[in-house]
Chains A and B, each alone.
Chain A
Amino acid sequence: RKEVEQDPGPFNVPEGATVAFNCTYSNSASQSFFWYRQDCRKEPKLLMSVYSSGNEDGRFTAQLNRASQYISLLIRDSKLSDSATYLCVVNGRGYQKVTFGIGTKLQVIP
Chain B
Amino acid sequence: EAEVAQSPRYKITEKSQAVAFWCDPISGHATLYWYRQILGQGPELLVQFQDESVVDDSQLPKDRFSAERLKGVDSTLKIQPAELGDSAMYLCASSKQGSEAYEQYFGPGTRLTVT
Tell me the A residues contacting B by CB distance below 8 Å.
4, 6, 8, 31-32, 34, 41-46, 49, 87, 89, 91, 95-103
Contact = CB atoms under 8 A, between A and B. Distances in A.
A43 B41 contact: no
Given A43-B107, A43-B108, A43-B109, A98 B42 contact: no
A79 to B, nearest CB: 23
- Interface-centre pick from B33, B104, B107, B108 (highest chain A CB count, 10 A): B104
Nearest to A40: B39
Contacts of A46: 103-105
Interface string B69-106: 00000000000000000000101000000001011111
Interface in B35-75: 35, 40-45, 48, 50, 55-56, 58
Given A100-B43, A101-B42, A102-B42, A95 B50 contact: yes
B92 to A, nearest CB: 9
Contacts of A101: 42
9 contacts: A4-B42, A41-B89, A87-B43, A91-B102, A96-B56, A98-B33, A98-B45, A99-B45, A102-B42
